Structure 1
Amino acid sequence: MKSSGDSLQKKLRPRHISFMAMGGVIGTGIFKGSSETISLAGPGVIFSYVFAGLLLLVVMGAIAEMATVYTNKNMKEFIREAYGERLSFVVGWLYCFMWLAVCIIEVIAAGSFLQYWLPGVPLWVLSLASAAFIVLINTMNVRGYGEMEFWLAGIKIFMIIVFIVLGACILIGIIPDPQVHGLKNYTEHGGIFPNGWTAIFSALLVVMFSYGGSELIGLTLTEAENADKILPKVVKNFILRVILFYTLPILIICGLIPWNQLSGNTSPFVQVLSSTGLQGAAHLMNFILVTAVLSAANSGIYGATRMLHSMASDGEAPSRLRKLSRSGVPMNSLIFCAVVLLVGSMLAYISQEGLFRLLMAVPGFVVILVWICICLSQLKLRKQYPKEPGFKVWGFPYITVLTIAALTVIAVLFVVDAQNRISISVCIALVIFLSIWSVFKFKKKA
């Protein structure tokens, strides 16, 4: 049971919530991963981002709807309310596993970007320094943390806006570029769907990884002021921004550079900035990349610690993990995450490439499972709400059912994709292990 001493502080404001979630979403997925998605589907990849955005809209709408009914509860507790402690237990630990995997990826990426300026410093030193910086930020009280993440995420968002404006100016000829000829790059080199229209589904596997983290809003509810009232508005604005900040840059990249000439080793953003003649574009972009991955790791540690605190409060994790510091931070949960981050950084030092391949598919697959559970919870709870929700998902239950079906198909695509075989096998093995553990853990209450 939760006691007053274990209650999180309600100091997050709407702008904090929006930017924290965007910090988890807008990261390497757009700045680096866009090269991979475009190479898979060409200009038609825009449909992958829009389709995934529509699925995200329904998921976020479901969170907002349940938040107006079950106040002071987060997304894991919605799942617990609908399907009991066993599924809540499995989803909670899976979500922690996902964010810790993301954090390991991001701090190693931050270290590799920092080596651009400090080539003589070993990668593991820079990675550990990045991890220490992130852990230090998470020791702040929630309002201080929210402010720090607001500015970290703000830098990325500002960069994307600048990119969109500069790219649009090049496309319409305000900034002349002899290599850009109007809109020809959209129709030449194989057209909109150079690899066939089915390629948009292959790109979805990467896009889902990119959009993962949006549901972090569902964990901020217990630390937000008047969450049940502000969340629907925050969700609507958030969805619009995420889709625009992904689709517009992708459209501009495809218009400026032929899809089959993108370099997998260089961010498309660097290529576009360089074409404008902007001095120091590489240094500027490297700074943005460092900020982006640190912001994503920052959001990840927040998500993992709050989920662990919630699970400990519900008896699904060791009770020590719910202990709060004087500033309202789940300190023991933070220490646990810091240790995992340290071990992960050391493993990456031993086998960096192998670990990256193993971890990269994990977040996308787990995110899909979590999104399915959120939609299933809304589908079940709608019939038994204790009060009328202040916000409702449109087209219920048909839209929710279609979203669940689409997410299930994408999950199956993840499973049958040969490139993700090892990663997905680890995820499935973990699901089976957690399911068996939950049966024994809650056997007396069955």
Structure 2
Amino acid sequence: MKENTALKNTLKKQLLPRHIRMIAIGGMIGTGIFKGSADTIGLAGPSVIFSYLFAGLLLLIVMGALAEMAIVYPSHNMKDLIQKAFGRRFSFVTGATYCFMWLTVCVIEVIAAGSFLQYWFSSIPLWILCLICSIVLILINATSVKSFGEIEFWFAGIKIFVIIAFILLGVSILFGIIPSNSPSSEYLHNYSNFVPNGWKAVFSTLLVVIFSYGGSELIGLTITETKDAEKVLPGVVKGVMWRVVLFYTLPIFIICGLIPWDKIDANASPFVQVFEIAGLQGASHVMNFILLTAVLSAANSGIYGCTRMLHSLSQSGDAPKSLSYVNKQGVPIYSLGFSVLFLLMGTYIVYLYPE
């Protein structure tokens, strides 16, 4: 009987290397680059590239250490590793805060997804669109972890495809392969224009930049559901880090090369502005779809992160024991139910206060 109960509380190792790679990349590439880059460029100009490189270096150090610990303790997730280093109390505070953070983010992302859908379906009330998004995300997370990994793989794939297409398009415009009305990029080589607000402004953007890289820590929660994690993780971490740094720095370099940093509209996506320079019609529709994908991907990953952290807290006795129950599909179903409750509360708030 005890053996059967233990089996029910065990997560299934169904995630493949490509799933983890895309979960990490998808978690880090979101509205932070598609929309938030307008804010960071507005603060520091083209020199904000150094902020992304510096934050990327910090991220590489942290994630590299995580990969090394996963080799030594292959059956431990992020919270378990924190407990080994700092004790149970610290790991509980970290785990509980992490759950609250993701639950809050999930609600915000679902509301954002509903607002993006209203761009096309303006006659439908926002709360109904939020409810539809919530139901879709709940169904995705109620399936096996392998199905979740597969869906997140394609969510992230869409974002990566757009960034690669953006880089190729931008390079073509900069080198005159595609004609456009963009201003000359010569000002990039002028020090006063490259660092227009001084180095202090570069460091002031680090808060936004590091927040943009948030989601990379999800790798630390996939350890217990990854086949041969101790062999897979080091290679995945190294590959993910340099890809993410390139996917952030190259688009920003292109944006600053095509649009003077002080002419970038803070209320719009710089990506849309570059697409319009290239003469692409319907750029706003394309970007709206990408932003919708980005927020749904973030909410999807957030629900996963919260349910797995609740499951881990329950197993260590820091949360109700029922939250550690895992169904036949390998999903902590009661932990997922707790997350669902927050999503529905968020939808209800939108119903009461649609503005």
Which residues of structure 2 form unaligned runs of 5+? Answer: none
Alpha-carbon separation, structure 2, partners of 1:122 and 1:219: 36
Do structure 1's residue 77 and structure 2's residue 104 form an aligned pair?
A: no
Q: Given the alignment, which residue of 28, 32, 38 partners 1:25?
A: 28
Residue 124 (str. 1) matches residue 127 (str. 2): yes
- Contact persistence 1:135–1:338 (CA under 8 A): yes
Q: Hey, what's the Cα distance between the residues in 2 that align with 1:343 and 1:200?
A: 39
Deviation at 1:352, TM superposition (A): 7.6
The amino acid across from 2:52 in the alignment is Y
Which residue of structure 2 aligns with residue 311 of structure 1? 313
CA distance in 2 between counterparts of 1:111 and 1:164 reads 29
Match in the other structure for 2:297: 295
Aligned equivalents of 1:64, 1:103: Cα separation in 2: 27
Q: Paired residue for 1:151, among 137, 149, 154?
A: 154
Quote the Cα distance in structure 2 between the aligned partners of 1:37 and 1:218.
28
Partner of 2:118: 115
Q: Can you list the C-alpha shifts for 1:31-68, whole angstroms capped at 9, x where unaligned?
A: 11111111111111111111110110011011101000
State the SS of the aligned residue for 1:118.
coil
CA distance in 2, matches of 1:28, 1:352: 22
Q: TM-score, length-normalised on structure 2?
A: 0.95
Match 2:204 to one of 191, 202, 205: 202
**Aligned-pair distance for 1:178?**
2.4
Question: Does the aligned pair in 1 maintain the 2:56–2:245 contact within 8 Å?
Answer: yes
For residues 45-444 of structure 1, the aligned pairs below 5 Å read: 45-185=48-188, 187=190, 190-347=192-349
**Aligned-pair CA distance for 1:280:** 2.2
**Identity, % of aligned positions:** 60
User: Aligned partners of 2:107 and 2:264: how far apart in 1?
Assistant: 27
> Structure 1 145/35 Cα, relative in aligned 2: closer, same or farther at 3 Å?
same
Q: Which residue of 2 aligns with 1:424?
A: none
Distance in 1 (CA, whole Å) between partners of 2:249 and 2:234 is 23
Structure 2 Cα separation of the partners of residues 22 and 178 of structure 1: 33
* 1:241 CA displacement: 0.8
* Alignment match, 1:408: none
Gaps in structure 1 of 5+ consecutive residues? 354-446
Q: Find runs of 4+ consecutive structure 1 residues off by over 3 angstroms.
A: 185-188, 345-353
TM-score, length basis structure 1 = 0.76
Does the 8 Å CA contact 2:28/2:215 hold for their aligned counterparts? Answer: yes
Q: Secondary structure at the match of 2:336?
A: helix
How far off is 1:214 after superposition?
0.4
What is the number of equivalent residue pairs in this alignment? 352
Return the structure number with greater relative CO, CA threshold 8 A, min gap 6.
2
Cα deviation for residue 349 of structure 1 reads 5.5
Change in Cα spacing, 1:186 to 1:116, as seen in structure 2 (3 Å) is: farther
Q: 1:280 to 1:313 in 2, by over 3 A?
A: same
Change (3 A) 1:158 1:99: same
